[in-house]
Each structure stands twice: as C-alpha cells, then as structure tokens.
Amino acid sequence: MRATSPGNVPNSELAAEYFCQRSEIPDPLLSTDITSIPKKADGYDNALGIWSQEQVEAWKPVFKRVHGNQSYVFMQLWTLGRQSESDTLARDDLPYVSASDNIYIGSSFEEISKKANNPQRALTIPEIKQYIKDFKVAARNAIEAGADGVEVHSAFGYLLIQFLDPKSNQRNDEYGGSIENRARFVLEAVDAVIEEVSAEKVGIRFTPWGVYGGMSGGHDPTLLAQFAYVVGELEKRARSGKKMAYIHLSEPRVTNPFLTEGEGEYKEGSNNFAYSIWKGPIIRAGNLALHPNDVKQLVNGDDRTLVAFGRYGIANPDLPCRLAEGLPLNVYDRNTFYGQTSKRYTDYPTYDEAVELKWN
C-alpha cells in the first residue's frame, strides 16, 4: 500500500530498498506484495499495479537490486472482486464485481456499496474473458520489468477464490454450479499466464482453509474436493509438459491473516492432501516462524517442500540467518503494515543491529 495515487505506481526507492535488504543473503525466493492487474481489478488507491508502462519502469530498479544480490523474485498477480472498495470504484466509474450478484461479504460492504450506488454484480462472461487477457498482459509486464516469474493469487477471499467457493459463487452458467465450472476461471487464467511466460515461471496460491473475505474454509466439507480438483488439473498440465514452478498453500493455522497468531486456527484439516495429487514443489506458509518444530516436520526428508514467511519477513530483513542460527526475531508492528512511509518497512534492524540498539 505504498504506491502513489493516482496511477498505482510503486515507490521505486522504498520498494527497492526493502527487497534489497531481504535478498542480501543469496538465493532466497521473494514474492512481491499483491499486485493488481488493471485498474478495474483494484479499487485501493495505494495498492501496487502492473498494467501500465509507467508501473513497469518503476518495478525495474526494484528487481535489479534483488538480482544484484543473486536472489530471485516472483510477482504476485491479484484482483480483488468483492473485497474492493465499492465507493472508490464508483468514484472512478468502475463496477463492483464478484462471481455472483448481491452476495456481499457482510453488511458493512453492502451498506457502502448501496450508498455509493455501485451494487455488487456478477462478472459477465465477456468480462471474465477480458480479465483472463488482463492476467496475460500483467504476466508479460512483470517479466518485462525483471521478475523471475509470477504467482497467480487465488486466495484469502479475493476474486479467483470467489469463483471457487459455492458460498460466493451461485452462478448457473459455465462458470458456476459444478466443481468443474467453478474452477474454470482460475484454470483459464493460469493457462493464459503459462502461454504468455511459460509454465516454469508461474506459481499459484490457494487458501483451502481460509475464511477471510467471507469464504467457507473448513466449514464446508465439500470445498476440499474443489481444491483437490484444481490441483489435479494443474498436475495434468504438468504431465503434459506444462509443469508450474510451485503451488503455494496457506496452513489451516491461519484462516484470517488479520487475526493475531493463534486466533482462528482450524484444527481439523491439513494441506497434506495436495501431495498425493501434485508432484511438484509446494510452498507452505502460515504462522510458521513461531513453530519451528512444525517446520522441521514439514520439510524433514522432503526436498519439494518450501516454507514461506510473511509477517516476520517484514520485521526481520535477515530472517534466513536468524532461522538458520536459532536467533530471536524482531517483533513486527502490525499497525504499520499498510503505511505510506519507510517506518517499520525499511528501518527494521538486522540481528547485530538490534543487539547494538538494545532492542527487546
């Protein structure tokens, strides 16, 4: 949320410094913050974008710093759907869309939408087709800017997962109803991105157990079959010569990223189902920095499991070293996650600096 407005152009100076700090230990794979494919898919004034040439040029120095440290970075491609700000969209004469008409996340979203005279409506099939083209353009722009690959964001209640979940998708056309139909948008977007930049430069993120954004998570016992179907379709593509770089899964211990660690954990599910279907790399994330013994079990003897860190990655620019050496971690400041300045973004100390500064 540190992009300039209007234009959603990354703050090259701040972002380059942030990603440079976190790539100084060679070989990590970094992921950018969620980055919007075009403006109509956004609705947040200060969110990052990748639909314009101005944005592409702003990203170039960021990725150059990462590659200068012999490290790697994927850009996460994002579209909000009903999680957008309907009044901001109305200001820009843009529709407030989701998989279906008038299925709001909650009363506050509905109230704002109606006050802005911008009611939530279902995407039309031609609009879905255009979004798929937009994913393709965004992927091309990301690679042009210097990213090593892209990650399709189908997680935490945003547009693609709104189509997967029957709670938000109550369509009766080719994009709704059956498991196969609800998966169509996601798979067509993935196919378009693969066609544009090649499969080995594409990953995808899912939150099978997430409830943020009004999703069903583990409360719907049929939903896991939906994710198993999508993962199976990705494995089919892999066996036909289009093997994606990875699948990225959030753990059931984090069903809502805005809750404090330990809150909202779903204890009756596991992401292990994916291993019997998908035979490529799997990234797992979700409050793992505080559970090192669980991490050891996840990666023990398994060379295709990778572990990702988000909140503690923000607060610890030298996180890989701290994890490797068993050093204490800086505590993050959640209140500054979406700030507009360098405060608690590029000013977190390394371990040695923290000791010198007498950080708690």
What confidence tens digit (pLDDT) does each residue in 326-335 have?
A: 999 999 999 9
| Structure token digits, residue 342 | 């360098």
Q: Specify the DSSP element, H or E, that contains 113.
A: helix 107-115
Rounded CA-CA distance 152/24 in Å is 26
Give pLDDT tens digits for 74-93: 999 999 999 999 999 999 99
Residue 344 lies in a domain: no
- Is position 327 within any domain? no
146 vs 296: CA distance, rounded Å = 33
How many structural domains is the chain composed of? 1
pLDDT tens by residue, 256-291: 999 999 899 999 999 999 999 999 999 999 999 989
Q: 320 lies in a domain?
A: no
Distances in Å between the alpha carbon of 275 and those of 32, 236, 269, 304? 26, 14, 14, 10
Q: Active-site residue 158, yes or no? A: yes
Is residue 360's pLDDT more than 80? Answer: no
Asked whether residue 346 is assigned to any structural domain, the reply reads: no
- Residue 302: the pLDDT is 86
Rounded CA gap, 252 and 338, in Å? 24
* Domain contains 55: yes
The set of residues, in sequence order, having a beta carbon less than 8 Å from that of 307 and lying 6+ positions away, is: 283, 284, 285, 288, 295, 298, 299
Q: Rounded mean pLDDT of 322-347?
A: 93
Q: Band of the pLDDT at 240, cuts 50, 70, 90?
A: very high
Can you read off the two tokens belonging to residue 334? 């959640």
Give me the domain span that covers residue 204: 12-308
pLDDT of 50 over the 80 cut: yes
Residue from 44, 104, 131, 158 carrying the catalytic annotation: 158
pLDDT of residue 103: 97
CA atoms 96, 47, 3, 50: torsion sign: negative
- Beta strand 35-36 with 246-250 is unpaired
In a domain, 257, yes or no: yes
The CA distance from 45 to 278, in Å, is 37
- For residue 27, being part of any structural domain is answered with yes
pLDDT score at 214: 97
Domain at 129, CATH number = 3.20.20.70
Q: How many CB atoms lie within 10 A of CB 6?
A: 9
Q: Give me the chain's average pLDDT, please.
A: 96
- Residue 336 forms part of a structural domain: no
